[in-house]
């Protein structure tokens, strides 16, 4: 800019807002990730049953995490 009295600044970091020490948990976001994890687990194609079970264990943990977030959601 030709205006020397300004300062250009860009930032990519997110901002989080908490009111009363209660984190905002978006129901829509939690549902999105729960659906995504469920879909990814359904698409697993591994021939080795042991490997399939091992990978599925991580998907289940992620599913449980997002289900808990969904149940704790306090914002649309």
In a domain, residue 55? The reply is yes
In a domain, residue 2? The reply is no
Supply the pLDDT for residue 1.
60
* pLDDT tens-digit series, residues 33-49: 999 999 999 999 999 99
In a domain, residue 42? The reply is yes
Residues of the chain with pLDDT under 50: none
Expressed as residue numbers, the domain containing 33 is 24-72
Percent of the chain topping pLDDT 90:
68
Give burial (CB, 10 Å; 0-12/13-18/19+) of 37: buried
Supply the pLDDT for residue 13.
80
In a domain, residue 49? The reply is yes
In a domain, residue 19? The reply is no
The C-alpha atoms of residue 28 and residue 21 are separated, in whole angstroms, by: 21
In a domain, residue 36? The reply is yes
In a domain, residue 5? The reply is no
């Amino acid at each position: 800019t030709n205006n020397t009295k300004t300062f250009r600044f860009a930032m990519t970091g997110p901002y989080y807002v908490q009111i009363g020490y209660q984190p905002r948990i978006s129901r829509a976001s939690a549902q999105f990730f729960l659906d995504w994890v469920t879909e990814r687990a359904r698409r697993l194609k591994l021939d080795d049953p042991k490997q399939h079970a091992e990978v599925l264990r991580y998907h289940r943990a992620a599913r449980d995490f997002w289900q808990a977030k969904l149940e704790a959601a306090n914002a649309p």
